[in-house]
Amino acid sequence: MSKKPYLFDTGWQFVTSRGLNLSLAIKSNGFSAGAGSIYLAPLSAPDNPYEFNYASAGICVGLASASLEFATKDIYSSGVVYGNPLIKGNLTLDDMQGACLIYSASAHILPGGSVSVILIGVGMGIVKGFFLAASGVGFPLAPLAVLASCRAMVFYSGGIIGTPDAGCTATIGYITNTDTMKNKNYGTIMLVKSLNSINQAL
């Protein structure tokens, strides 16, 4: 099977999402933390979506010194799933899990809206990007290293409810399927996968 072009549908469809995010500005620094779920269904079984849970933390910029926003899975949201051109064929369940980067922009006065993208499976790329950025000369290549290692991308937008604010966040975290989390050896599995990603990068 030939490689799929970039931004090509890869056998999954976006169903809905939910989440909670808290942002705080301490002096001139903005910090953000959030958690939530995205629901994705294989195109072969659109009525049987998988729940993928994530948690992340990072930086933010916004108009308010503190902001809280949330969305339930019943609030309207729409999205699409894309894959990396280096991955042959449709994305597997494992491709949809791992270290992730989440970028979001939102505006709300109680009701409002947001636009987000989740880059999934970027563990090795983050390590490479760090060393490229630290070298100085390779700084411009750091984002490309992260994007090249990305297994999947989920773009979505929808309604949210929150305290009055408008801003953007960039966070790093982990996303995994609900069934994986129920595994009694979940902690050990995640530790081994993380160490393997770092070892491969080095």
pLDDT tens for 30-86 read: 899 999 999 999 888 888 899 999 999 988 888 888 899 999 999 999 999 888 776
Asked whether the predicted pLDDT for residue 6 surpasses 50, the reply is: no
The reported pTM is 0.78
Question: Cα 47–48–52 angle (5° rounding)?
Answer: 130
- CB-based contact 25:41 (threshold 8 Å): no
CA dihedral 130, 84, 91, 198 (to 10 degrees): -20
Q: Is 134 left (phi over 0), alpha (psi -120 to 50) or beta?
A: alpha
Q: Encoding tokens for residue 116?
A: 């987000």
Query: What is d(CA 78, CA 22) in angstroms, rounded to the nearest whole number?
Result: 22
Asked whether the predicted pLDDT for residue 5 surpasses 50, the reply is: no
| Mean pLDDT, rounded, for 103-118 | 91
Cβ within 8 Å of residue 34, ≥6 positions away: 19, 20, 21, 22, 55, 56, 57, 102, 169, 171
pLDDT score recorded for residue 138: 64
Domain boundary assignment for the chain: 12-123+150-196
- CB-based contact 97:175 (threshold 8 Å): yes
Confidence of residue 139 (pLDDT cuts 50, 70, 90): low
